[in-house]
Amino acid sequence: MYKITFLILAGLLASCFALPSQAAECAVTIEANDAMKYNTDSIKIPSSCDQFEVTLKHVGKLDAQVMGHNVVISRTSDITALAQAAMQAGAAQQYVPADDSRILAHSELIGGGQSTTFTIPVASLPTSDDLSFFCSFPGHYALMQGKVVLVP
Ligand code: ZN
């Protein structure tokens, strides 16, 4: 009886240690602040991941209408045109143009103190193009952007 209990405990412990490292590999947390900055300039996605989870944390205090942030993934060459389309889409659409195939994945728009998570189906990302992430809130993409790197 003791032996079985020990084995179960050992198994539980092993899975506790195994799970976080696996989750860390296919997930990332990015912070954005009231100074219009992300805390990183690159997202590395292992191509072995099926789904890659991105969590955006707005660590500032300002409201989403004033200092809203999101994460939009696209080809680097599409950023400028997409930022314009986002402005036209407006606040009602959270500055994300509907049904725009240039957007490979995106998060919700959030304000200070909030956080949001979205997943990227890794196989859907084009491997031959230079990819980036940026914030589509009007005027933010110039300061708020970085590279998305697929790691073999
Ligand atoms: Zn922003």
Task: Give φ, ψ of 32 to 5 degrees.
Answer: -130, 150
Q: How confident is the model over 112-148, as pLDDT tens digits?
A: 999 999 999 999 999 999 999 999 999 999 999 999 9
CA 53 – ligand 1 centroid, Å: 19
Instruction: Give every CB contact of residue 4 below 8 A, 6+ residues apart in sequence.
Output: none
Residue 126 contacts residue 77 (beta carbons within 8 Å): no
Would you give the DSSP letter of residue 33?
Answer: -
Alpha carbon of 103 to ligand 1 centroid (Å): 16
Q: What angle do CA 102, 140, 57 make, to 5 degrees?
A: 90
What digits encode the pLDDT tens for the residues 40-80?
A: 999 999 999 999 999 999 999 999 999 999 999 999 999 99
Evaluate whether 30 touches 57 at the Cβ level (below 8 Å).
yes
